[in-house]
A and B are shown apart, each in its own frame.
Chain A
Amino acid sequence: MDADTEKRATGGRDGVERAGYTHLARAVLYREYLVFVRYPANAVGGIVVALFFFGVLFYGGRMLAGRALTDSIEGLVVGYFLWTLAVGAYAAISNDIGSEVQWGTLERHVTTPFGFAPVILLKGVAKLVRTFITSGVVLAVMLVVTGTTLQLDALTVVVVAALAVTSVLGVGFAAGGIAVLYKRIGNWLNLLQFGFVLLVSAPAFDLWWLRLLPLAHGSALLQRAMVDGTRLWEFPAADLALLVGVAVAYLALGYVVFRYTTGRARRLGVLGDY
């Protein structure tokens, strides 16, 4: 092997092709897929826990509220589905950053030429895809257990749910950034996910300002889509615009907080500490 061939084969930049965002997205998604299929216990555990709490909610509620709960079971199922999605997306970003710190891999993501935030966002999207799968299983089991029928237009459900949860990704970004700065605060930030219950069940059509909060407007639209059968193109343009606007706004806000907190962590020299 001559020197040039050796160089290409074992080191140096010669003969190396640059990776684009497509390569990055594929790598991040593929890693998530590998972990998902290779260690299914985590996913199965998450599904079991989610179904357990739903069982407590459903059977406990039926004992206490009787027919009143049965009449509103579609709303409960849709809301719970969205809540599991939201919790998955939130935990994906906020917890993942903490894990990267512990694994010593955070610095390598910080120094990537793609930029730290895009990589973390893609990781969040990868986790969101995974969460869609597990939440889909949870939804299917809930429908079977409760004997409920919903309108499941895939395009409408995926688009509305994804946009609703995008705002939560923004919150997760901010929480992840705060966790980088104040390491041990992670467990407290996890309590935020219980606040999502309020947002999912918020009466967004009754109080207009609630629509500006993350999840609330998306939850209301998802209820219409899955319970009433409203298709994506049947929603008023203003509602869809607001859904997109809220998603983008919270994502951007979360990104700004993330940038600020990680920048401060760099100044304090605590970025990779745990």
Chain B
Amino acid sequence: MTTRGREVDVGDRASEGARQERNGAAGPRGADGTATATPAVAVDGLYKQFGSGADAVTAVDGVSFAVDRGSVVGLLGPNGAGKTTLIKSILGTVRPDAGSVRIMGIDAREAPREAYAHVDAMLEGARNDYWRLTVRENLRYFATISGVDPASVADRHERLLERLNIADKADEPVRNLSRGMKGKVSLASVLGGGADVVFLDEPTLGLDVESARTFQAEIRRLAAETGLTVLLSSHDMGVVETVCDRVIVVSDGRIVADDTVDTLLGPDGSHTVRLTSPAFDRERVAALRDRVAVTEVERLNRGARIEVTTDTDGLYALMAHLREHDVPLSRVRTVERGLSDVLVDLTTDAGEG
């Protein structure tokens, strides 16, 4: 049997709590909870095909979505799904065959300089700054490149360095820093230019646990306090679940899901429980099927392990039924589907469809 569940521990609850707390401001609303007229990013019918004839590969296939200001949106999908091409098409480093991109209401094709003045991106993990320059010099240089007078954001740079715990390395050449530190410098240089929208491709790649948590907290803080809009692509589902208001799942160049993390994870009040009992035989399991949805059954040497999904009342009724019939339970586990399970389901379904 393939187990696609994630067994919950106390630590997971903390991030779930943070997610649920955010959920009220998620979706089609800005950071202040009010609907915003102009999305930070609006993509409409984006299409990109590489090659031609029999060798043609459609990397982005009619993708449309909008991202409201101050929200953090995760862009997920398996390798080769088209995420990077989609991001690059939005950024203009890949020219789409069709469709439009608007950044802060500005058409990126008609007025690219004005549109991209609002944008910065961290596309290559740790290496998107100059390693021969110091941390501070990188921040100043890339702030200028993004169209900002570095003197006017000097305070911001100091705050960012402090918040990312790299202030003591500010005058150190980046090449001398550890991989995790380099990642932080990269992030700082992207955030330090005061962009309204940032694209982060695998931003936590190579970061240790503490650094990844600092990153997550900083992203949430900037989104909440400054209205920063973030589109991030990551294979780290923990980061996505913790940070993102909303998730867009891409498969074969198409959007196969676009919703809040909680909605994707399943409706509230639904429980999936894994029960192990030596008394579970064919008849008893058949009887249980009449009461609850038995989603999986694994035969054991003695008895079986079953997985059932039901609501709270159904769970109480199930337990009462088992007790009434003296069914011993050797193990009870609550199973919560993780985002990675949802992603696999969605992209597999899309592939099969």
Main secondary structure of the interface of A (DSSP, over half): helix
Asked if B304 is at the interface (CB within 8 A of a chain A CB), the reply is no
User: With A27-B140, A109-B145 as given contacts, are A9 and B156 in contact (CB-CB < 8 Å)?
Assistant: yes
**CB-based contact A112/B146 at 8 Å:** yes
Q: A6-B225, A16-B153, A114-B113 are in contact. Are A23 and B95 (CB under 8 A)?
A: no
Interface contact tally, CB-CB below 8 A: 146
Q: Are A8 and B128 in contact (CB under 8 A)?
A: no
> B94 near A16 (CB under 8 angstroms)?
no
Q: Which residues of A contact B116 (CB under 8 A)?
A: 111-113
Closest-CB distance, A112 to chain B (whole angstroms):
5
Interface residue from B92, B140, B221 paired with A111 (Cβ < 8 Å): B92
Chain B residues at the A interface, C-beta cutoff of 8 Å: 48, 50, 59, 85, 88, 91-95, 113-114, 116-117, 119-121, 123-125, 127-133, 137, 140-153, 155-156, 159-160, 163, 173, 191, 194, 196, 221-222, 225-228
Given A113-B117, A114-B113, A269-B48: A119 in contact with B145 (beta carbons within 8 A): yes
Report A-chain residues with C-beta under 8 Å of the C-beta of B149.
Answer: 16-19, 23
In the complex, A17→B150 CA distance in Å? 8
Q: Is the CB of B113 within 8 A of A11?
A: no
Q: Which of A6, A12, A111, A112 touches B194 (beta carbons < 8 Å)? A: A12
B147 touches A18 (CB 8 A): yes
Contact A107 B91 (CB under 8 A): yes
Q: Mark A242-274, 1 if CB is under 8 A from B, else 0.
A: 000000000000000000000100111101100
Q: How far is the CA of A18 from the CA of B128 in the complex (A)?
A: 22
Cα A22 to Cα B220 in complex, Å, equals: 35
What is the interface of chain A, defined by CB distance below 8 A to chain B?
3, 6-13, 15-19, 23-24, 26-27, 30-31, 34-35, 38-39, 103-105, 107-115, 119, 263, 266-269, 271-272
Measured CA separation A80–B149 after assembly (Å) = 41
Task: List the A residue with the shortest CB-CB distance to B173.
Answer: A38
A15 to B142, CA, bound (A): 18
Q: Is the CB of B95 within 8 A of A263?
A: yes
Residue contact A113 to B129, C-beta cutoff 8 Å: no
**Chain B residue at minimum C-beta to C-beta distance from A104:** B124
Question: Cβ of A104 and Cβ of B194 under 8 Å apart?
Answer: no
* Residues in chain B near residue A13, CB distance under 8 A: 194, 196
Q: Inside 8 A of B121's CB, which chain A residues have their CB?
A: 107-108, 111
The interface residues of chain A lying within 8 Å CB-to-CB of B148 are: 16-19
- A19: B residues at CB distance < 8 A: 143-144, 147-150
Q: Are B123 and A107 in contact, CB atoms less than 8 angstroms apart?
A: yes
Residues of B within 8 A of A108 (CB): 120-121, 128, 142, 145-146
Is A10 in contact with B93, judged by CB distance below 8 angstroms? no
- Can you list 30 contacts pairing A with B, beta carbon distance less than 8 Å? A6-B225, A9-B155, A10-B163, A10-B226, A11-B156, A16-B148, A16-B153, A17-B149, A17-B151, A18-B149, A19-B150, A23-B144, A24-B145, A26-B144, A27-B140, A27-B144, A34-B132, A34-B137, A35-B132, A104-B124, A104-B128, A105-B130, A108-B142, A108-B146, A111-B93, A113-B116, A114-B145, A114-B147, A266-B94, A272-B123
From B130, B150, B163, A23 is in contact (CB under 8 Å) with B150
Distance (whole angstroms) from the CB of A236 to the closest CB of chain B: 41
Q: Is B137 a contact partner of A8 (Cβ separation < 8 A)? A: no
B contact residues around A11 at 8 Å (CB): 156, 191, 194, 222, 225-226, 228
A16 pairs with B152, CB closer than 8 A:
yes
With both beta carbons as reference points, the residue of chain B lying nearest to A105 in the complex is identified as B128
Contact across chains for B59 and A266 when beta carbons are under 8 A apart:
no
| Cβ-defined partner of A10 (8 Å) among B127, B130, B150, B225 | B225
State how many angstroms separate the Cβ of B70 from the closest Cβ of chain A: 10
